[in-house]
Amino acid sequence: MKGTDGFPVRLRYTKRGKVRWISHRDVARAMERAFRITQLPLAFSQGFSPHPLVSFGLALATGNESDAEYLDLVLAETIDLDALGASLSEALPEGIEVTGAAALVDRAPALQEAVTAVSWQIEIEPTADASERIAAGLAAPTLVTTRHRKGREVTEDVRPVVRSINLMDHATIAMELNTQPRGAKPGEVLAAIGGLTEVRALRTHQWIERDGARQEPLDADVTRPRAEVCAS
């Protein structure tokens, strides 16, 4: 996060089960409520209308699940990060659990700028020729899909977003997608391939890549090893 007085921290959290149907904005509200309940000593911005220094990472589409969501915040004072995940999880809705925390270096790049790729595990409706369709999609020079933006339909090529697609079994796909300069939803990629229908999508990892190496956000730009919390 940008340089400021305080102690920057990065959190990893899940979004699983029924809570996958709440919006990204509702997740932010739930986090803010948990911060108040646990009396987390958040640092605030300066100026006429101070606000807590909290910055969320890549938005997760409503209906998708994740084991790898992230947010950055700044604390006004140091706290025990080993205990932070459990205390926040108790104040969050079922399905949202904080599973890791790490102290960040000052001026760490924002998550939305730093994350370059995401990994997915996707359940699809079984089809006998899923493997052939995936192979054809990966071999195609373009994969055109239609998106709804600001009330109108926009046709875009999502092929540059796709890094890899692997059929794990007859109804499960592992997919890795770029996030920059733009990203795509797994369902959009499957629709562009043709005939593959997403049943459920789980974001398993986000990746920060620099100088030929890749790290998860809890390992990048941190001052000490992460504090892990096992999700129940």
> For the whole prediction, is pTM greater than 0.75?
yes
Q: What's the pLDDT band for 226 if we cut at 50, 70, 90?
A: low
Report the percentage of the chain scoring pLDDT > 90. 79
Residue 2 has pLDDT above 50, yes or no: yes
Q: What is the pLDDT of residues 150-172, one digit of tens each?
A: 778 889 999 999 999 999 998 99
CB atoms within 10 A of CB 28: 14
Residue 23 has pLDDT above 70, yes or no: yes
Q: What's the pLDDT band for 179 if we cut at 50, 70, 90?
A: very high
Q: What pLDDT score does 232 carry?
A: 44
Cβ distance 116 to 208 under 8 Å?
A: yes
Specify the residue for token string 């390992």: 219
C-alpha to C-alpha distance for 2 and 85, rounded to whole angstroms: 23
C-alpha to C-alpha distance for 130 and 125, rounded to whole angstroms: 9
Instruction: Look at residues 74, 69, 36, 70 and name the one whose alpha carbon lies nearest to residue 52.
Output: 74
CB atoms within 10 A of CB 132: 11
Q: Would you list the domain boundaries of the chain?
A: 7-113+218-228, 126-196
Q: What is the pLDDT of residues 108-126, one digit of tens each?
A: 999 999 999 999 999 999 9
Q: What pLDDT score does 228 carry?
A: 64
Cβ distance 44 to 53 under 8 Å?
A: yes
CATH fold, domain 7-113+218-228, is: Alpha-Beta Plaits (3.30.70)
Q: What is the pLDDT of residues 55-106, one digit of tens each?
A: 999 999 999 999 999 999 999 999 999 999 999 999 999 999 999 999 999 9
